């Protein structure tokens, strides 16, 4: 049994992850900036719900302290909270939208990792799982700011995976493609139309659960692409030459003319 804190857990991938983990017998902290947690009652005392604003360090510290007191500690933090806006960077975006996206998606993950570190270091099973995205495999047009924020999450994961290994803390990230959550309600880009929004929250949650609970340590596994499309993109980006990766990415995600 692990004691697992999840941010952004009121709905979507966070909720699906919480429900799977609770059904497995873990104690789960389902926290969000707002939302209805009435569904958690079905899991009895295995789900502890509460409030966290991931953009505020003091909110992180209060939420983690609350969960740790009620659960007896924290073994795993899942940084799940995230937002996006879609459309051309100049036409659809703004200074405010860029700031809001990076505040939640980047600062929220940084603050969560920093606030959780003392708890994870004390646990013999300490683990940090960050929700990145397939948009961090190759830069995604019409989601440029979101894509950039998820590259930051990927970079942080890879860095802390090495830094915190000496502390006995494993750091991993999950990279899903487009998933059927409220975050993509009303979103239509060339990428979503060509690749489809195929993943259910439960599909991504299954990969998050694997990243959070799989205790096999050899070989070290850091990246967990979710879904066959993300797995292909991840493998292709690592083994194809950059010009080919760029060309394939353009064919999948944009109707703009591109040069080889």
| Token code pair at residue 8 | 């952004």
Of 94, 83, 73, nearest to 29 (Cα)? 73
Give, for 130, the enclosing helix (H) or strand (E).
strand 127-131
DSSP per residue, 134-185: GGGTS--TT-HHHHHHHHHHHHHHHHHHHHGGGGT-EEEEEEE-SBSSGGGT
* Phi (first) and psi of residue 241, to 5 degrees: -65, 155
| Token code pair at residue 26 | 């873990």
Instruction: Tokens 């439960």: give the residue.
Output: 202
Three-state SS for 31? strand
| Token code pair at residue 83 | 């937002």
The two beta strands, 76-79 and 223-226, are unpaired
Q: Give the number of other Cβ atoms within 10 Å of residue 10's Cβ.
A: 22
| Token code pair at residue 21 | 């983990």
The one catalytic residue among 31, 85, 146, 178: 146
- Does 31 participate in catalysis according to the annotation? no
| 53: CB partners within 8 A, 6+ apart | 33, 59
Of 69, 66, 46, nearest to 58 (Cα)? 66
So which residues are the catalytic ones?
146
């Amino acid at each position: 049994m692990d004691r697992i804190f999840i941010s952004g857990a009121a709905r979507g991938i966070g909720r699906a992850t919480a429900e799977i983990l609770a059904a497995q017998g873990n104690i789960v902290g389902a926290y969000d900036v707002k939302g209805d947690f009435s569904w958690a009652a079905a899991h009895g005392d295995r789900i502890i719900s509460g409030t966290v604003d991931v953009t505020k360090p003091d909110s992180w510290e209060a939420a983690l302290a609350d969960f740790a007191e009620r659960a007896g500690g924290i073994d795993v933090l899942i940084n799940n909270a995230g937002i996006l806006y879609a459309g051309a960077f100049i036409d659809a975006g703004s200074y405010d939208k860029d700031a809001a996206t990076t505040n939640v998606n980047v600062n929220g993950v940084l603050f969560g990792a920093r606030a959780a570190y003392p708890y994870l270091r004390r646990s013999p099973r300490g683990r940090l799982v960050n929700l990145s995205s397939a948009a961090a495999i190759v830069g995604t047009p019409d989601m440029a700011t979101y894509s950039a924020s998820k590259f930051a999450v990927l970079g942080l994961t890879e860095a802390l995976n090495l830094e915190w290994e000496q502390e006995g803390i494993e750091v991993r990230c999950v990279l899903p493609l487009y998933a059927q959550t409220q975050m993509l309600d009303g979103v239509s880009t060339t990428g979503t139309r060509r690749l489809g929004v195929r993943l259910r929250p439960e599909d991504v949650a299954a990969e998050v659960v694997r990243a959070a609970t799989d205790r096999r340590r050899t070989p070290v596994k850091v990246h967990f692409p979710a879904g066959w499309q993300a797995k292909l993109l991840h493998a292709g980006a690592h083994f194809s030459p950059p010009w080919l990766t760029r060309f394939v990415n353009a064919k999948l995600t944009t109707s703009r003319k591109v040069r080889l």
